A and B are shown apart, each in its own frame.
Chain A
Amino acid sequence: MSELRWNPTLEEWVITATHRQDRTFFPPPDYNPLAPTRPGGFPTEIPAEDYEIVVFENKFPSLRTPAAVPSVAATALEPVAPSDGVCEVVCYSPDATSELALQPVRKIEELIYVWEDRFMDLGSRPEVDYVFIFENKGREIGVTLLHPHGQIYAYPFIPPIAEKELGAAKRYFERTGRELYQDIVDQELAEKNRLVDQNEHFIAVIPFYARYPYEVHILPINSRQAISDFDSNEKQALAAIIKSVTARYNNLWNKSFPYIMAMHQRPTNGSSEDYGYYRFHIEFYPPYRTPEKLKFLAGSEAGAGVYINDTHAEVTAQTLRDTSSEL
């Protein structure tokens, strides 16, 4: 059962999805639901003997259309709404042992075209206001299926973090007449000490305000609000810098590096022109602060929303910059 419950204290929706309690949890390798369906083998989610990139609706979705009637009655204090929207799984390799860092740049480029197609398709639906493309990687993040895959949540509202970013960017523009993200890009290109990599169209930086020791943001150098705004050269450059960042992560301590990869872009309730003050970007949140130690979201972070970073961005950026991007 899934529904939206309104939190009046934070003015945000919470999704309850009780059916997800029993979702697939670390199946044995020969029962991998994201592998191709081999002849004589167990039928997986993908009814084909091989595939390149497959996208399908999640079997245990937090959002679906049409949504079920909420299980509780709404009140004026605590409204309830159906959990309309879409949750999709993006399988970008048939190889269960692969990951984004191991994909050739060309394959990542193909994945970008798929992300664009899903953004356009899901964003065109009347019930969808925001298309969130992301990847959870690693047991430490809470992944329950280890086959490489990303996800897409098409929300019927603009989620809180996006709303906060949009508000900050809009107020900055109204106050200064300049785009916030352009000023950030210009500063990082000028100071250089937080750059991890750059190419003709993108920079990868550990931001001045990083909350995780190795948090990397990928930003387009020019103003682009959504993945659908990039031309073919920019998509190619985006693939190259995603490869660079994920490969550096794996090379840092010679192990597969867990992270959350979150794509932030304009809502789909308007056009890129409507959100010209904002900018597409990708954020990586890796939980490890040393090879053995995790950064936990404890009291200050989870309870007060104030992150504590035990490192300086300038130092960890230097470390990542000095790490090979070859895998």
Chain B
Amino acid sequence: MRIEKKRIIKEDGRSLTFYHFPDTASTTQKAAFDATTPAVSAPEPATTKATKPGREGDTNV
């Protein structure tokens, strides 16, 4: 299956990805995808992980 995608950044900073399937897309769907200008990806900010507190020898399973 052929699949293409384009990611944009909305005005409020949220990410949106269009997925396009050339083999089944309608004419208007293909035109809409082709008209979309993808965003340049920005590096993801570093974050910390929420580990479980308070259990001795805790592992995920």
Contacts and interface: CB of A to CB of B under 8 A. Distances in A.
B32 A48 contact: yes
A166 B60 CA distance: 9
A217 B38 CA distance: 38
Contacts of B24: 52, 106-107, 110
A176 interface: no
B54 A57 contact: no
Contacts of B60: 129, 158, 163, 166, 267, 269
Interface in B34-50: 35-36, 44-50
Contact of A117 (B5, B10, B35, B61): B5
A282 interface: no
Interface stretch (A19-27, A79-87, A177-185, A201-209): A79-87
Contacts of B26: 50
Contacts, number: 121
A213 B46 CA distance: 45
A210 interface: no
Given A11-B52, A52-B25, A126 B17 contact: no
Contacts of A56: 10, 14-17
A79 B54 contact: yes
Contacts of A81: 50
Interface string A72-108: 0000000101101000000000000000000000110
B9 to A, nearest CB: 10
Contact of B54 (A8, A52, A59): A8
B7 to A, nearest CB: 9
A31 B35 CA distance: 24
Q: Determine which residue in A13, A45, A48, A109 has the highest number of CB atoms from chain B within 10 A of its CB, and name it.
A: A48
Interface in A301-316: none
A282 B19 CA distance: 23
B55 A11 contact: yes
A65 B51 contact: no
A170 B47 contact: no
A290 interface: no
Contacts of A172: none
A129 B61 contact: no
Contacts of B15: 56-57
Contacts of B46: 126
Nearest to A49: B32
Interface in A1-44: 4, 6, 8, 11, 13, 36
Contacts of A156: 47, 49-50
Contacts of A50: 26, 28-29, 31-32
Contacts of A6: 52-54
A50 B53 CA distance: 46
A129 B51 CA distance: 10
Nearest to A232: B1
28 contacts: A4-B50, A13-B50, A13-B52, A45-B10, A47-B8, A47-B10, A48-B18, A48-B36, A49-B28, A50-B31, A53-B18, A53-B21, A54-B18, A54-B19, A56-B10, A59-B14, A65-B44, A67-B47, A82-B48, A110-B24, A113-B1, A117-B5, A127-B49, A157-B49, A157-B50, A158-B60, A158-B61, A166-B60
Given A48-B18, A110-B24, A117-B3, 14 more contacts: A11-B52, A13-B50, A45-B10, A48-B35, A50-B26, A51-B33, A52-B19, A52-B20, A54-B18, A55-B19, A66-B45, A113-B1, A127-B47, A157-B49
Q: State the 8 A-B residue pairs at the shortest beta-carbon distance, nearest first.
A: A56-B16, A127-B47, A57-B14, A81-B50, A53-B19, A156-B50, A50-B28, A48-B32
